[in-house]
Amino acid sequence: MTVAPRGSIASPTTSLTDAEYATIVERLGRHPNAIEVGILAAMWSEHCGYKHSRPLLKRLPTTGARVVQGPGENAGAVDIGDGLLCVLKMESHNHPSAVEPFQGAATGVGGILRDIFTMGARPIAMLDSLRFGPLDEGRSRYLFHGVVAGVGHYGNCMGVPTVGGEVYFDPSFTENPLVNAMCVGIVERDNLTRAGAGAPGDIVLVVGSATGRDGIHGATFASAELGAEREEQRPNVQVGNPFLEKLLLEACLSLLPLGMITAMQDLGAAGLTSSAVEVAARGGRGIRLDTARVSRRESGLTPYDVMLSESQERVLLVVPPDAVPRVVEYFARWDLHSDAVGEITDDGEIAVLDDGDEVARLPIPLLTDDVPTYVRDARPRPAPAMPALPPEPADLGAALLALLASPNICSRRSIFRTYDHTVRADTMIEPGLGAAVVRIRGTTRALAMTTDCNPRYTWADPRRGAAIAVAEAARNLACRGAEPVAVTDCLNFGNPERPEAYWELSEAIDGLGEACRALGVPIVSGNVSLYNETDGVGIKPSPIVGMVGLIEDRTTVVGGQFREVGDAVLLLGPVGAELSCSEYLGGRGPTPSLDLDLERRAQLVVREATARRLLRSAHDCSDGGLAVALAESAIAGNLGFLGDPAIPERLLHEAEAAGQSRRLDAVLFGEGQSRFVLSCNPDNLTALTALADEHAVPIRRLGTVAADGFSWSGLFSLATSEVSLAWNRDL
């Protein structure tokens, strides 16, 4: 092998520091050559090596009675009964989407789909979590439209419904949009497939698309701040082909039950390099690859290019030698490449060949367990003070209409209509108002799913904001009667080398862990995306929570919309008159308080009430507070609301007793946690009240579902059409 001089790491695409390079030389006893530097730089990047987050992630709860596969594989898996597992994962494609929004978002969807079907699971639903700058800025609109189109294009072509998600607009995301994609799949327990190498001599195949130059250095590109040269980084962005991936998905899922596949791994970040290293590491083996055997769609590709290309729609298989001819023939019937590119070894090293000549050799532990980790100085930011409150508005109805029309609250219909959420005909609750619900075929069960995180809260207090993200996700599931069974997360933060950003990351992880333990839900998979900064300006911290819940009897599911004129409308939970950090105050002030024990009890009441068929609807109070939640339930049901004139004074008294603002705008628009707007047949009021009292959760009747009009004596009197028109503004 040729040996590269010290200067070979000068290129910013390597991402290795001088100290890291010196460590590599010491451990190898020599200088690595250029190909080895590329492999090391990819595996030691933040994106692959989790250098800053790995020590922190150990604080999270990852086990539970239902957990079959926790973090460390392509995706996590939990038992949902009837011999079935739910497989789930969320990942980011932030940097690529900032450079080329359509392909960045599309290939993010493609990658998360492969994470699911390489576990042997059929994807049944997609969700997303998106962040952009204000839409009155041209670049933000360009990114917004490109990302939404890319998500819809790939998911629609694959025939996987995109059933839910969320989006926020904030100036901190103007240069660094966030594009997080979540996928949920179902697999029979016996068919769960893992990605650990088998016996020495097993053959390694690369199946799917031919390899090109797209995405080379994608992993290192995603592990650094963006700068003014973003247009020059377009070659780092992968290009997707969803129709080819559809063939790959169906071929792999049809082949797996035949028992010829030992392991299967997605070719994602760092391409063949990371997939080969991870498969070998999980099996405690080594691996030998000959890059000359990899099918190519471009001429002139070097071994370096082949090892680091992130061309999409590819998976790595490990197959016993006697099964190779049948596997190759099988994939040929799907018009898919299946190249036998190497074999599993027992030497604990990755050897890279070029037409039989060895061009690189590195010990597997140096690329996995021995990747350095860093514990940085953490510098807390001062907690924001509560701003002086403006005078109470003279027209509370006008204030409500303005809130309903704000970009962070208004209808997301223009986004969801881009996605096909009905394909497969299993979607029971459509996107637009809380958690989605997808039935599990062949059973009485269903899965509820959601993504949540409020960046205003996590900016003001990363720990409490992250805990609220978990609580809100579980609250959304409770509204469907679902028991939360698993979390997948995506931790989006700025440069961890800055003490403030590292503090945000550390605090948010502690908040996630605290809330997950309190609510009894493990984190089984996830992703970390750091360096979301441009020219030293970082995003608001965004620990996105994706959560899945199990519904034992799907006939009990209720939606968030009012259903029947004359039904009682109730508020379950505290009065919540906390204006701090609210959309009403423009996100200023400290994060709202959170009582996790009260949160747990309130959610239990809603789940039990749903199971006992006491409810007609359930909707959580979140952005915009009580008045917005009432309006959304009315709009969704094409009905109205008539408030009890005696209730506002009672709510003001409760707010004052709790040390909160004795103001009507605080009662209506405050974003206190652990609250639900419920509706029920008046005949069920006694049983529902008794259930809430049993669990010591406050409940009070607010009013009645009306045929038309949205009014509350002394507060506001609006036509249903006014309320609907404000909320249904077109993003």
pLDDT in tens, 534-564: 888 899 999 999 999 999 999 999 999 999 9
Pairing of strands 427-429, 337-345: unpaired
Check whether 198 has a pLDDT greater than 70. yes
- % pLDDT > 90, the chain: 91
At the fourth CATH level, the homologous superfamily of domain 395-419+558-731 is PurM-like C-terminal domain (3.90.650.10)
**What is the rounded distance in angstroms from the CA atom of residue 433 to the CA atom of residue 629?**
10
Do 12-44+193-369 and 395-419+558-731 agree at the fold level? yes
Residue 336: which of 317, 319, 359 has the closest Cα? Answer: 317
Check whether 261 has a pLDDT greater than 80. yes
Pairing of strands 640-643, 710-712: parallel
Q: How confident is the model at residue 365 (pLDDT cuts 50, 70, 90)?
A: very high
Mean pLDDT of 147-163: 96
Alpha helices (runs of H) in 349-461, residue ranges in sequence order: 364-367, 396-405, 413-416, 455-460
The predicted structure's pLDDT at residue 234: 52
Check whether 85 has a pLDDT greater than 90. yes
Q: 173-201 burial, b for 16+ CB within 10 Å, e for fewer?
A: bbbbbbbbbbbbbbbeeeebbbbbbbeee
Q: How confident is the model at residue 424 (pLDDT cuts 50, 70, 90)?
A: confident
CA distances (Å), 54 to each of 51, 72, 368, 567, in order?
Answer: 6, 12, 12, 51
How many CB atoms are closer than 10 A to CB 282?
17
Helices 720-727 and 625-637 cross at an angle (nearest 10°) of: 100
Mean pLDDT of 49-61: 95
Measured distance between the N- and C-terminal CA atoms of the chain, rounded to whole angstroms: 57
Task: Specify the fold of 12-44+193-369.
Answer: Phosphoribosyl-aminoimidazole Synthetase; Chain A, domain 2 (3.90.650)
The predicted structure's pLDDT at residue 216: 78
Q: What share of the chain is helix, strand, coil (3-state, %, to 5)?
A: 40, 25, 40
User: Which helix (DSSP H) or strand (DSSP E) does residue 122 occupy?
Assistant: strand 122-132
Domain positions in the chain are 12-44+193-369, 395-419+558-731
Give me the count of residues in the chain.
731
Check whether 479 has a pLDDT greater than 70. yes
**What is the rounded distance in angstroms from the CA atom of residue 665 to the CA atom of residue 673?**
16
- Tokens representing 128 are 């997303």
Q: How confident is the model at residue 8 (pLDDT cuts 50, 70, 90)?
A: very low
Mean pLDDT of 319-323: 97
Check whether 482 has a pLDDT greater than 60. yes
Helix (H, G, I), strand (E, B) or coil at 541: coil
pLDDT, one tens digit per residue, over 263-309 is 999 998 889 999 999 999 999 999 999 999 999 988 999 999 999 99
How many CB atoms are closer than 10 A to CB 584?
27
**pTM over the 0.85 mark:** yes
How many CB atoms are closer than 10 A to CB 418?
17
Q: How confident is the model at residue 224 (pLDDT cuts 50, 70, 90)?
A: low
Check whether 217 has a pLDDT greater than 90. no
Which residues are annotated as catalytic?
Answer: 47, 93
Check whether 13 has a pLDDT greater than 60. no
Mean pLDDT of 661-688: 97
The predicted structure's pLDDT at residue 230: 53
136: CB partners within 8 A, 6+ apart:
none
- Tokens representing 418 are 């881009």
